[in-house]
Amino acid sequence: MYLASVIVDVSARALDRAFFYRVPHELSSVQVGCAVSVDFGNRPVVAYVVGLQELSEDDIIADGGDPAKIKPLAGVLSTPYFDASAVELIRWISREYLCPLTSALHLFTPPGGAPKIKRVDGEWKLVHPGVGPVDDRWVFPTAAAAQFVPAKTAAKQRAVLDALAEGGMRVAELTVELGSVNATLKALEKRGVVRLESRRRIRFAMEQSRRPDVELDQLTEGQAGALEAVDAAVAGRDAAHGNVVVMDGITGSGKTEVYLRAISYALERGKGAIVLVPEISLTPQTVGRFRARFGDDVAVLHSRLSVGERFDQWDLVRQGEAHVVVGTRSALFAPIANLGLVIIDEEHEGSYKQDSAPRYSARDVALKMCEIRKAALVLGSATPSIDTLASCEGGANPFRSWRHVVLPERPNRRPLPPVDVVDMGREFSNGSRSMFSKTLVDALMGVHERGEKAVLLLNKRGFASFVLCRECGFVPTCPDCAVSLTYHERDNCLACHHCDHVEPVPPRCPRCGSPYLRKFGTGTERVEAELRQIVPDDMPIVRMDADSTKGKGAHERLLEQFRESEGGILLGTQMIAKGLDFPDVTLVGVINADTTLKLPDFRAGERTYQLLEQVSGRAGRGDKPGHVVVQTYWPEHPAIRAAAAHDRGLFLEEELPLRQELLYPPYARLANVLVWGKREQPVRKVATELALAIGSALISAGYEWTLLGPSPCLLGKLRGYFRWHILIKAPVNADISSILSPLLAKRKKSAEDVRVAVDVDPFDLF
């Protein structure tokens, strides 16, 4: 009996496994990855084929099945969306991130949401929500057109034929030029002068992004070494490192050029490539560089494209028309054949971790994908994450030894800009109440005089409130967790969200006795207003934040405005820190380096260091040298000192022992169990029960993992839901799922509708 195992696209825990269906003879061409319809409670539902096999009736009976009860597939609805390697990955994702098979599977279905089944003209068909392919009507002149002479009165026919003199056109385009042409086209078609045809339209709004390619004479030594390492991995010659290459290159060291060449090599070997970039750096400039090199062989996938555009780009890949995909996180699941290379640029970015279910990390899924598909993985960054560095040869993670290549200098030999650290606590005690230090103001004036440009970063990441002494920079921290305490306005208290420590807000700074204890945080607009009063009137200020970049294309427009202005300031939030390449920016100012530093998160220091190093890299990329001014209340913090010296080692020296002592990554694996519901009491109850259950499961398994909580989340109430969490700290190679999966599967749906989710390897713990 020829059987298909399918995953039924119905979200119910009991159905979250593969089911057998018989493949009837007329459907025997069905393949793994096809959407099919199966009968389910007397109505057809969509299912996906995840396996095909020949089994004898005896085998089925021996397996405890009943051949007579196996139903046939009702129909095949699509050509394959994915292959067998994806099935392996779907199973892995579902297990690793404790999510249903269906939600892992949906990562591989076309953009726009999982297809639905609908009755169209008496037949069950697959419908893509809101999208699907669209056709255009085209009109082409036939061979007879040259001889044809329209009647004197038929002016429109003449106009149409004139317009078609150079070849076919879309009817829509012709209509724009000539007004309604339908009747005319019909008449001409009747005479055999034109031919009408439907053609698939490829929607893509970024077409204009193609720009001329740059020819580089010679790679730097670092680039050549990196390229060699990547190519070895693509060719499968670097199994010792798991075919993973960490490309650790300072900002502007030419990593992108290495990516481009490595992709060329992969294409020459007949292999495809996927390049992931963070949303914010996926600008027309970035896309343009890839399109300049590979033309239409590049498909682009990200959320700023319309669903229709994304569908078409995805389909181009599936049809084998494009062999390179450039996109954000979910582009990893594009149906590229014969994958040779996955590149994750700015691999340290938090946006590679999805913060809703399935809570996967694109970096870790890519690692598994490359292992299954025998492809190479490149992790590029000027500031690789501590986790990634730990996985390199000789790093803290004993289970991995990725290849680590370094690009220590820029092609033009321009050094990284010098950094001035300004102690804002001292400025404040000297009487200044401005958010701009004298150093920064002087530097801005210099930029104005020389007609250069400046980038100012307002560090606004996070939403956490904390208390800060404006005199000495003191921030109260938890005595047990080494993270700063969060200010809870309602109760006027400070609480730790890792444990249950709570204390009242002190009336005076416990360190220096100053009464100037403040909540920190300012809006971009306020900063702009203050800046306006400081700098000369003729100095343009372009403000870039969540508000000013809302509309489609607003982001690019503002950057273009800054690019074209003669001198001026680009003032913005985190979104300006990366990828910008303006040669005439000579000053970078960081208004408040501390906000991220004081976030109650064990990665606060790491993220601050990365942000400062990245934003510093925006200065002095052209011929003129750059200069960076960092304002902080915490000048002695290792993250600040390291960024100021462009010396990652300074930071790691202090950070790694702390992480080790407190059992944080890379010395442990975390899982954050989230519990939420409308009423707090049942949430607390479920969280407590769950913590006890996890505790006893650990004891029976003989695991000595650490359990923290249950305690309220930092965001204790979000959109009307009370949130609690339990933090698990396990050894780096721990199989967290093996403990949590059975517990979650056993959990009955409570009457109070309390929900539970697990965030494995969380990026943050909010």
> How many other CB atoms are there within 10 angstroms of residue 273's CB atom?
29
Residues 6 or more apart whose Cβ sits within 8 Å of residue 218: none
Please, which residues have CB within 8 angstroms of residue 90's CB and are 6 or more apart in sequence? 50, 82, 101, 104, 105, 107, 108
223 forms part of the interface with ligand ADP (CB under 6 A) = yes
Contact region for ligand ADP (CB under 6 A) — 244-252, 469-477, 486-494, 533-541?
244-252
509: partner contacted, choices Zn ion, ligand ADP, none (Cβ within 5-8 A by kind): Zn ion
SS3 258: helix
Residue 256 interacting partner from Zn ion, ligand ADP, none (CB closer than 5 to 8 Å by kind): ligand ADP
133 binds ligand ADP, rule: CB under 6 A: no
For ligand ADP, the closer of residues 254 and 620 by Cβ is 254
| Closest to 649 measured CA to CA, from 330, 328, 406 | 406
Closer Cβ to ligand ADP, 74 or 250, answer by number = 250
Q: Which of ligand ADP, Zn ion, none has residue 249 at its interface (CB below 5 to 8 Å by kind)?
A: ligand ADP
User: In the set 184, 253, 549, 632, which binds ligand ADP (CB under 6 A)?
Assistant: 253
Closer residue to ligand ADP in complex, CB, 78/220: 220
**Which of helix, strand or coil describes residue 518?**
strand
Q: Which does 474 bind (CB under 5 to 8 A by kind): Zn ion, ligand ADP, none?
A: Zn ion
Q: Least distance in Å: CB of 412 to ligand ADP? A: 7
Binding partner of 253, given ligand ADP, Zn ion, none, CB within 5-8 angstroms per partner class: ligand ADP
Asked if residue 716 binds ligand ADP (CB under 6 A), the reply is no
Q: Which of residues 374-413 bind ligand ADP (CB under 6 A)?
A: 411
Helices 648-662 and 604-616, interaxial angle, to 10°? 170
**What is the smallest separation between the CB atom of 501 and Zn ion, expressed in angstroms?**
4
Does 224 sit near ligand ADP (CB under 6 A)? no
| Contact window for ligand ADP (CB under 6 A) among 70-78, 133-141, 249-257, 388-396 | 249-257
Q: Report the interface residues with Zn ion, using CB under 5 A.
A: 469, 471-472, 474, 478, 480-481, 496, 498-499, 501, 509, 511-512, 514
CB 738, min distance to ligand ADP, A: 40
Note whether 284 binds ligand ADP by CB under 6 A. no
C-alpha to C-alpha distance for 19 and 136, rounded to whole angstroms? 40
Contact 308, 282 (CB under 8 A): no
Among 145, 219, 441, 732, binds ligand ADP (CB under 6 A): 219
- Using CB under 6 A, pick the residue from 254, 589, 620, 665 that binds ligand ADP: 254
Write b or e for each residue in 296-307: b if 16 or more Cβ atoms lie within 10 A of its Cβ, otherwise e: ebbbbbbebbbb
Distance CA 136, CA 709 (A): 59
Report in angstroms the alpha-carbon separations of 554 from 459, 548, 568.
21, 7, 19
Q: Report the C-alpha gap between 459 and 765 in whole angstroms.
A: 19
Distance CA 36, CA 141 (A): 41
Per rule CB under 6 A, is residue 255 in the interface with ligand ADP? Answer: yes
Q: Closest distance between ligand ADP and the C-beta of residue 222, in Å?
A: 9
With respect to ligand ADP, which residue has the nearer C-beta, 129 or 625?
625
Which is it for strands 721-730 and 486-488: parallel, antiparallel or unpaired? unpaired
Give me the residue label for tokens 């780096």. Answer: 732
Q: Which does 496 bind (CB under 5 to 8 A by kind): Zn ion, ligand ADP, none?
A: Zn ion
* Least distance to ligand ADP, CB of residue 227, Å: 10
Angle CA(123)–CA(129)–CA(130) in degrees, nearest 5?
115
Q: List the single partner that 184 binds among Zn ion, ligand ADP, none, CB under 5 to 8 Å by kind.
A: none
Q: CB-wise, 250 or 760, nearer to ligand ADP?
A: 250
- Which residue spans within 591-705 are E strands per DSSP? 627-632, 669-677
Distances (CA, A) of 258 to 265, 405, 764: 11, 12, 31
Residue-level length of the chain: 766
Considering the rule CB under 6 A, would residue 157 count as an interface residue with ligand ADP? no
Phi then psi for residue 356, to 5 deg, are -130, 165
List contacts with ligand ADP (CB under 6 A).
Answer: 214, 216, 218-220, 223, 249, 251-257, 411
